[in-house]
Amino acid sequence: MMTLKQIFVRNLKEFRKKEGFSQQKLAEFCNTAPTYIAQIETGRKFPSMEMIEKMANILRIEPYHFFKSQNVNSIGNEAENLFPLLPTSMKKQINDQINQSTSEFLREINEIINKY
């Protein structure tokens, strides 16, 4: 059984790769050193709550997703869970809309945060 820290590390790597970010790029967006991201991903360091929230925002996820033991790829398939009987094409449209709305929402929050 994986520890919570191991789950966090695995999910951080998977979410980072899913967004197509290198450790360097994530570090730039987080305003931190690439070596710090590498230390987090190898389990030598653990980020603060503020850094976890920042990384989640950048990776377009909710912070708690870092700590879920489920497969990263299953997150974001809300339509499948909510509407299992709909045709696949409709579920894809719903998922696209959910992802778009979430991205817009997170962008707006990021703009507000960046003002302060």
Q: Are residues 54 and 100 in the same domain?
A: no
Closest CA to 76 of 59, 61, 55: 61
Q: Are residues 3 and 57 in the same domain?
A: yes
- Joined together, the tokens standing for residue 99 give 């992802």
What whole-number distance in Å separates Cα of residue 31 and Cα of residue 51? 10
pLDDT score of 6 more than 60: yes
CATH of the domain at 54: 1.10.260.40
- Joined together, the tokens standing for residue 94 give 């719903």
Closest CA to 8 of 46, 50, 34, 36: 46
- Joined together, the tokens standing for residue 56 give 């989640």
Using N-to-C axis directions, what is the helix angle for 49-58 and 23-30, rounded to 10°? 110
pTM: 0.62
Q: Are residues 64 and 80 in the same domain?
A: no
Q: Are residues 9 and 50 in the same domain?
A: yes
Q: Are residues 23 and 61 in the same domain?
A: yes
Q: Are residues 116 and 61 in the same domain?
A: no
Q: Supply the pLDDT for residue 75.
A: 46
What whole-number distance in Å separates Cα of residue 48 and Cα of residue 68? 18
Write out pLDDT tens, residues 13-67: 999 998 999 999 999 999 999 999 999 999 999 999 999 999 999 999 889 888 8
Q: Which domain holds residue 88?
A: 76-116
Q: Supply the pLDDT for residue 95.
A: 64
Write out pLDDT tens, residues 58-92: 999 889 888 887 644 444 555 566 666 767 777 67
Q: Supply the pLDDT for residue 3.
A: 87
